[in-house]
Amino acid sequence: MSSRRLAPADRPTWSHEQLDRELAITLGFALDASSALAYSSALNAYTTFCRKHEFPIKPAPETFARFIVYMQHFVSPKTINSYLSGICNQLENLYPDVRSIRRSPMVAKTMKGSFRRFQTPSNRKDPLSRADLLRACTTLNPATVFDDALFIAQLLVGFYALMRSGELVRPDRRELHDYNKLSMRHSVKMSTSSISFTLPRHKADTTFEALAEDGVPFDQIQALGRWSSDAFKIYIRKHPALLASAMLAR
């Protein structure tokens, strides 16, 4: 049965309750399920803190600063910074000025002081190289062991397609399952020289390493890798072989 697009004058009128319900549902789709879960956890930590210490839930620079100095004794400053992002996201609809409160001098200086007071050495993982891929292929036995074959396939596809691990596997938690982020078998196309498939949707973040060993220029790595900043250069500069390959390509 074919659908017909209604003209503006023919469209039905919704009640305020229907509009509010649709608004709530649509706002719920603004975040990826895993991000929404983490942000809800951050908000729960904040509301629990306010309730225990009898502070109002309504954000204020003093409340955020006290939340930072309290939480820094239990979690790292980096985690607290992520908590503040989640709290702002969850409370923004009720308190539109919450982000400006987070950027206030008191909160910014308290967060900076927390990083300095409880700073820990940076611990960045080295990016994968083709030597790592070769070691995996020669160490495992994909010809006879299915799990080894599956792992090698995921490793090679993820490396050369610049994919995140979350785009290659399904989460263990059922509530995070999302078929919009799965590549289906019917989308796979193979030839003698290539393989392709469709990834319907991805969670755009900056958590995976850039591929520079093949001499891909920096601007192309940033575009292909979906990096929103120059943070990917940290990994390249840390690895001399990747840096040399990228510089030669330029």
More confident call, 243 vs 147: 147
Rounded Cα gap, residues 170 and 182, in angstroms = 8
Per-residue model confidence as pLDDT tens digits over 2-56: 455 666 667 778 887 777 667 756 765 665 666 666 678 888 899 999 999 999 9
Rounded Cα gap, residues 214 and 13, in angstroms = 58
Contacts 24+ apart (CB under 8 A), 113-120: 114/68, 114/69, 114/72, 114/77, 114/80, 115/77, 115/78, 117/72, 118/72, 118/76, 118/77, 119/77, 120/76
Q: pLDDT band for position 173 (50/70/90)? A: confident
Which tokens in the block code for residue 200? Answer: 């319907």
The percent of residues above 70 in pLDDT, for the chain, comes to 68
Angle at 85 between CA 84 and CA 86, to 5 degrees: 90
Per-residue model confidence as pLDDT tens digits over 150-172: 999 889 888 888 777 778 888 78
Q: What is the DSSP string of 88-101?
A: HHHHTTT-TTHHHH
Within 10 A of 72 (CB to CB), how many other CB atoms are there? 19
| Pairing assessment for the beta strands 195-196 and 189-190 based on DSSP bridges | antiparallel
Tell me phi and psi for residue 195, to 5 degrees: -140, 140
Burial string for 79-98 (b: 16+ CB within 10 Å, else e) reads ebeebbebbbbbbeeeeeeb
Mean pLDDT of 64-85: 92
Binning the chain into helix, strand and coil, the percentages to the nearest 5 are 60, 0, 40
- Judge whether 10 and 4 are in contact, CB under 8 Å: no
Cα dihedral across residues 183, 186, 192, 196: positive or negative: negative
Predicted pLDDT of residue 24: 59
Please name each of the domains of the chain with its CATH number: 16-117 (1.10.150.130), 130-249 (no CATH)
Name every residue whose Cβ is closer than 8 Å to that of residue 236 and which is 6 or more positions away in sequence: 127, 210, 212, 218, 221, 242, 243, 246
Rounded Cα gap, residues 42 and 98, in angstroms = 15
Angle at 40 between CA 36 and CA 41, to 5 degrees: 120
More confident call, 85 vs 3: 85
Rounded Cα gap, residues 176 and 166, in angstroms = 11
Supply the mean pLDDT for the chain.
77
More confident call, 223 vs 50: 50
More confident call, 240 vs 62: 62
Rounded Cα gap, residues 142 and 48, in angstroms = 50
